[in-house]
Structure 1
Amino acid sequence: MKLRKKPRTSRKIARKEYLKVAKKRKVSYQERRKAIGKQLKYLKKNLGNIEDLIQAGASLENLSKRQKNCLETIKKVYEQQQSMWENKTQSVPQRIVSLTQPHIRPIVRVKAGKPIEFGAKLSVSCVDNYVFLDKISWENFNESCHLKEQVEKYKETFGYYPESVHVDKIYRTRENRNWCKERGIRISGPKLGRPPKNVSEEEKKQAHSDECFRNAIEGKFGQAKRRFSLNLVMTKLPETSITSIAITFLVVNLSKLLRQFLSLFLSLFTNNRTGELIKPPFINFDYTLNNFYVLKLIDLSENSWSKVA
């Protein structure tokens, strides 16, 4: 299709209008709303030109797959921003914040310097210093709703319920407490209601022990970010990003397993001073097999390797 004249996009004017507001140190609500309205008009005009060209006989077949996806994303962003501008709201369901990664959602967090974060939200459990990736989603969700599912997965894996569950404050809802109590599971944290005036030393010691035990899962996130680049996921597609995150936690578990193998191997050659004088060090097969059985790495009943992570 041949055009007599290229449609006007007004991109230079739109850029100047944008920079006029973006370079201001403080922008009032009215100025920001007026600037957003102008940008929406420019975008509506350009999208209208594309629709007119399609109706005149133009085709989008020459566009690459990436360009087509980007065009569809731009249309959705325009619809969302136009709806927010008309209704004077600051949120919209499944809000798109990136053209190259439209699956990413803003997640509001109560953190100093980082009120909003972007990326996948994880629900992770830690058993014997091994990490289990229970849920990963690009949408924001309430973690407390998945406690029952995580405990049931634990029972499915190990064959019994855990003795205690060490969780954050958001998990300690009345429903989760009652559910754990019915199954004989102790949930960490103080009881609901007004705190008692007198707290025994045993309860204080138990609360301190629970908090120290729960720090293991916080440490796993820090270890994954610092040593295994969990905070440097460079993939763009949702499938590849999820795979990258899952591989990161897999490597965390493998590093823990390697340390256990190394400790077990070195323990075979380290004896006390008396033992060294009496007999030379040697590898005891029964001792090695028993240690592997304690670590749940070998199932003697089936004579096969069991799942570790």
Structure 2
Amino acid sequence: MYRKEEQPLPPQKKFELPFEGKLSPNNRWVIMAELIPWDDFEEEYAKLFSAEKGAPAKLFRMALGTLIIKEKLGTSDRETIEQIRENPYLQYFIGLNCYQQEPPLESSMLVHFRKRIDGELINKINKKIVKREIDKSDKEVKKKDCLQEKGEKIKNKGKLILDATCAPADIKYPTDLGILNQARIETERIIDNLYKPLRVKLRKKPRTSRKIARKEYLKVAKKRKVSYQKRRKAIGKQLKYLKKNSGNIEDLIQAGASLENLSKRQKNCLETIKKVYEQQQSMWENKTQSVPQRIVSLTQRHIRPIVRGKAGKPIEFGAKLSVSCVDNYVFLDKISWENFNESCHLKEQVEKYKETFGYYPESVHVDKIYRTRENRNWCKERGIRISGPKLGRPPKNVSEEEKKQAHSDECFRNAIEGKFGQDKTP
């Protein structure tokens, strides 16, 4: 059940403290609290709850404010609640009327907040904040309605930066031999758990050859440089051991073993191992290094290899992000664990810019992959200048003005690279 506050929250000057004084208006949390339009999205958040049934839910400001504090400070759920309990500025930020020594909520509530406040809602809030700030600084925006009445065309304004990156996942660097060895070890543990209730009935435990299999793995894994033939031979052996263990698991199930003896993690892992075996067997037989929806981690099967072609890191493992940047404000436009071509989303991202601000950008600053002939023609029809040189053979004579423009465009794109660096810094 969601209950909206009848009385508006007091400003920071009237926030009650247990000691004399008042909150500083220059504090970062006070400034941020004024930027976020809490009331504009409270009704949308309230739709997630019943109006009559259930316990009273926490207000939208408390839910979103707590998540912002956690991400801003980089703390755990429990430490976040402790920080809020000790800091009056954080209590004001989440919407409390006065300082209190007791924690305003349990740390377990953050799990529910993350489920209810998704990326789509966060993007809406970001766009609302950015639009309001840009409208304040741009006096010409006030004339927009007058121009529309006269039938005049609104001029393009602003600069838009588009780029994509890969958010690194916390997994061990995957190799074919390594993931097969890990899968083999997991199947051996599953066999042990399934065999326990059948000791009296079977008497003899299924043979797994685990010691021999580990020796075969270490022969190759400990070497710095291994030839293609030796690595392929080692992968083939691990595939045979894994197939043998999978057959033993099927035999134990037919003999009366129940999967209920396994933990939830082992059940999920068993399904993943079956898929890994199919993929690795297919690559081994066809002598290839790629397969659709390739699994690189048993515990995080959703992670995919993202081919980026960067020097030193040609392949990254994690979610691929497509973002846009306006006046140092960054919007997440697309996130996917599967690889995709970011140039296909340029039109959609530019249209979102127009939907937010009411006009197209004056220029779009992108790297080489976005500068396709289709995207160039689309931008040209709408009077948008796309950064970078023209397609085809470079001209022999380049004017100083064109050189300055190209240099300025590349320097302007550094803003999005800096944002990527901030996000990826642990």
* Cα separation, 2, equivalents of 1:111 and 1:192: 23
**What pairs with 1:1-309 in structure 2 (closer than 5 Å)?**
1-2=197-198, 3-226=202-425, 229=426
Aligned residue identity for 1:205: K
* Cα separation, 1, equivalents of 2:400 and 2:328: 28
Aligned residue identity for 1:164: S
User: TM-score if structure 2 supplies the norm length?
Assistant: 0.52
Q: Secondary structure at the match of 1:119?
A: strand
Q: Secondary structure at the match of 2:335?
A: strand
* Cα separation, 1, equivalents of 2:233 and 2:341: 35
Q: Secondary structure at the match of 2:259?
A: coil
* Cα separation, 1, equivalents of 2:236 and 2:422: 45
Q: Secondary structure at the match of 2:322?
A: strand
Aligned residue identity for 1:185: I
Q: Single out whichever of 152-161 and 45-54 deviates more from structure 2.
A: 152-161
Aligned residue identity for 1:21: V
The aligned residue for residue 265 of structure 1 is: none
* Cα separation, 1, equivalents of 2:350 and 2:308: 25
Aligned residue identity for 2:374: E
* Cα separation, 1, equivalents of 2:211 and 2:355: 61
Aligned residue identity for 2:226: V
* Cα separation, 2, equivalents of 1:190 and 1:150: 21
Q: Secondary structure at the match of 1:135?
A: strand
Q: Secondary structure at the match of 1:204?
A: helix
* Cα separation, 1, equivalents of 2:395 and 2:229: 51
* Cα separation, 1, equivalents of 2:276 and 2:300: 12
* Cα separation, 2, equivalents of 1:78 and 1:217: 40
Considering only aligned residues, what root-mean-square deviation do their CA atoms show, in Å?
1.2
Q: Secondary structure at the match of 1:125?
A: strand
Aligned residue identity for 2:211: K
Moved over 3 A (4+): none
User: TM-score if structure 1 supplies the norm length?
Assistant: 0.71
Structure 2: runs of 5 or more not aligned: 1-196
* Cα separation, 1, equivalents of 2:293 and 2:404: 45
Identity of aligned residues (%): 96
Q: Secondary structure at the match of 1:72?
A: helix
Tell which has more relative contact order, 1 or 2 (C-alpha 8 A, sep 6+). Answer: 2
* Cα separation, 2, equivalents of 1:74 and 1:180: 47
Count how many residue pairs are aligned between Structure 1 and Structure 2. 227
1:35 Cα deviation after fit: 0.7
* Cα separation, 2, equivalents of 1:88 and 1:203: 49
